[in-house]
């Protein structure tokens, strides 16, 4: 990618897609529907749908609740930029 602005946007989206993929995998591995997950989280199915579609910016607390509800652990890492 030769255009630095395009690369920057692409890289930013890549991180977002990785998060969304992780969320979906966690729910699928737990064998839960969005409705079941929502019940475990103490929220609604529409909130889970928004999380999994990338609409909105979830808080760390929300991600922790999602992780607990799916029997997983939230881990946030910071890596050196390339």
Per-residue pLDDT of the chain (82 residues; tens, 9 = 90+): 678 888 788 777 888 899 999 999 999 999 999 999 999 999 999 999 999 999 988 999 999 999 999 999 999 998 898 7
Q: Residue 1: its pLDDT value, please?
A: 64
- Tally Cβ neighbours within 10 Å of residue 52: 17
Contacts of 35 (CB under 8 A, 6+ apart): 45, 48
User: What CATH code is assigned to 4-69?
Assistant: 1.10.260.40
Q: Quick check: pTM over 0.85?
A: no
Q: Residue 69: its pLDDT value, please?
A: 99
Q: Residue 59: its pLDDT value, please?
A: 96
């Amino acid at each position: 990618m030769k255009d630095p602005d395009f690369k920057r946007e692409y890289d930013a989206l890549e991180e977002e897609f990785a998060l969304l993929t992780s969320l979906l995998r966690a729910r699928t591995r737990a064998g839960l529907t969005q409705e079941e997950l929502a019940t475990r989280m103490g929220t609604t199915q529409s909130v889970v749908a928004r999380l999994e579609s990338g609409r909105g910016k979830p808080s760390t607390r929300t991600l922790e609740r999602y992780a607990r509800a799916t029997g997983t652990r939230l881990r946030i890492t910071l890596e050196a930029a390339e």
